[in-house]
């Protein structure tokens, strides 16, 4: 393996999207846990639908739209204040336990890059709040061209941050649809199967699979 750059998805890979649970439960009690799952589901679905229709909104707005829709789907009462308070939890997500240590070690030998659907300000704040910002060389918004992962145009944005070629890049994500997109694009991929889930049958497969980033570090012998 002659990788020069390791490119990481952010949400669900480096930071835990279940970190919104406390905010959701605080406002909606027993329905809060269900809300967390619906919110993440529709956040992703809305990015894909807007990519297909070309009716672009940025990830921050989509995240809020998905939250409002999920709350209304559950039949819950809400206000603008509640929406803003819960949405704020999305930039305060905790890093997974091993992430900071692994990134610090990988950064000694590789370019470490985040490629996220998020907006540049939100990516920066999220990585700062998760205390992993200092271990990352570049933060890249996949949606710079007005389209989200898994579009090829989204993965093109990697090359705004590195001179490494495709064969010198390893792409890391916990989302198997993202792994499929990156693999189809021509990148080597490492699927972080944190939830011990089956891989979505979308055609392409991950080149490597691990349960967390410690397995990535072992693979790279970092």
Residues in the chain: 222
The question of whether 9 is a catalytic residue gets the answer: yes
Distances (CA, A) of 114 to 70, 76, 159: 28, 35, 12
192 to 55, 64, 158, 188, 214: CA distances (angstroms) = 31, 26, 19, 13, 10
Q: Rounded to the nearest 10 degrees, how much is the dihedral formed by the CA atoms of 208, 213, 219, 220?
A: 120
Q: Which residues of 63-75 are buried (b: 16+ CB within 10 A; e: fewer)?
A: bbebbbbbbeeee
How many angstroms separate the Cα of 46 from the Cα of each of 35, 62, 154? Answer: 16, 7, 16
Which residues are catalytic, by number? 9
């Amino acid at each position: 393996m002659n990788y020069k750059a390791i490119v990481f998805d952010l949400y669900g890979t480096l930071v835990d999207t279940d970190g919104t649970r406390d905010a959701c439960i605080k406002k909606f009690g027993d329905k809060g846990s269900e809300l967390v799952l619906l919110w993440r589901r529709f956040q992703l679905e809305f990015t894909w639908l807007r990519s297909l229709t070309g009716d672009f909104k940025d990830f921050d707005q989509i995240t809020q739209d998905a939250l409002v829709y999920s709350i209304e789907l559950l039949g819950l009462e809400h206000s603008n204040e509640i929406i803003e308070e819960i949405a704020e939890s999305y930039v305060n997500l905790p890093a997974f336990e091993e992430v900071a240590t692994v990134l610090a070690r990988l950064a000694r030998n590789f370019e470490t890059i985040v490629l996220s659907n998020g907006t540049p300000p939100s990516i920066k704040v999220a990585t700062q709040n998760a205390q992993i910002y200092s271990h990352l060389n570049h933060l890249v918004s996949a949606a710079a061209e007005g389209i989200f992962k898994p579009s090829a145009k989204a993965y093109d944005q990697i090359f705004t941050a590195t001179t490494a070629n495709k064969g010198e890049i390893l792409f890391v994500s916990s989302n198997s649809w993202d792994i499929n997109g990156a693999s189809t694009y021509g990148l080597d991929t490492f699927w972080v199967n944190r939830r011990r889930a089956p891989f979505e049958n979308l055609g392409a497969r991950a080149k490597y699979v691990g349960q967390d980033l410690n397995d990535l570090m072992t693979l790279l012998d970092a």
